Amino acid sequence: MQTPSSILDRFTCVRARMAAAAIAASRAPEEVTLIAVSKQQQEEEILAALGLGQRIYGENRVREAMARWQPKREAFPDLRLHLIGPLQSNKALEAVRLFDVIESLDRPKLARVLADAVEKAGRTPNILVQVNTGEEPQKAGILPLEADAFLQDLPRIYGIAPAGLMCIPPQGENPAAHFALLAKIAARNGLTQLSMGMSEDFEIAIRFGAHCVRVGSALFGPRQA
Ligand SMILES: *Cc1c(COP(=O)(O)O)cnc(C)c1O
């Protein structure tokens, strides 16, 4: 377990690096939002982050996120929860009820299920479309070549107006080309929000226009297996 002061140091350091990367890219630091990725982290670390005023968190599993965050909603009404992991159809309703942003819409079937869940829950999270920029078979995300058609279908067929795009570049590859590709797909589809960049590469992502960076281990240390 880390001490609260080490959590403070890590948040201070990541925020300073984010601001420096924004300024180096002639962007305003306030344009870039820090999503603290709390998945598989100890409760003590999360409570320390909440104590520091961090209110935006990312989780990759619906059930884990519900167990952790549902009980805290009342005490922290300004919480903003992002689903950053793949979403199974059978968890869509729970996801729509819990999350403020769902970053992993990536297929027509899920669009249909999400649209139904939004109607049923009477609650509309912001939606980002995940793009599999590296075309990795094991990874979620719509393929780059299919992205434009999918993005056009979303409002037309499903009544979903996506706010932007998300990607996770392949491990061990230079992420810059993937960030550039995501920014290009967003621009030509009139989308403004880009969720890209993790602990290892958030500064590069900010250079390529990221609006949200998703940072876990650089804030909280290694995840529990
Ligand atoms: C786990 C995860 C992160 C955070 O990764 P770190 O390398 O710990 O910063 C970011 N985005 C997604 C989609 C993740 O699953």
42-64: per-residue pLDDT in tens?
999 999 999 999 999 999 999 99
- Is residue 5's pLDDT more than 90? no
Q: pLDDT-derived band of residue 224, with 50, 70 and 90 as boundaries?
A: confident
Which residues have any ligand 1 atom within 6 Å of their CB? 37, 39, 60, 84-85, 168, 198-200, 214-218
Helix (H) or strand (E) holding 80: strand 80-83
The confidence score (pLDDT) of residue 132 equals 98
Reduced to 3 states (helix: H, G, I; strand: E, B; else coil), residue 85 is coil
CA–centroid distance, residue 157 to ligand 1 (Å): 31
The confidence score (pLDDT) of residue 1 equals 52
The confidence score (pLDDT) of residue 26 equals 98
Are 83 and 93 in contact, with CB atoms under 8 Å apart?
no
What digits encode the pLDDT tens for the residues 60-103? Answer: 999 999 999 999 999 999 999 999 999 999 999 999 999 999 99
CA–centroid distance, residue 188 to ligand 1 (Å): 27
The confidence score (pLDDT) of residue 2 equals 54
Task: Pick the atom of ligand 1 nearest to 218's CA.
Answer: 9
Ligand 1 atom 4: residue of nearest CA: 216
CA–centroid distance, residue 214 to ligand 1 (Å): 6
- Furthest CA-CA distance within the chain: 50
CA–centroid distance, residue 36 to ligand 1 (Å): 9
Helix (H) or strand (E) holding 117: helix 108-121
Helix 176-188 to helix 144-153 angle (10° resolution) is 30
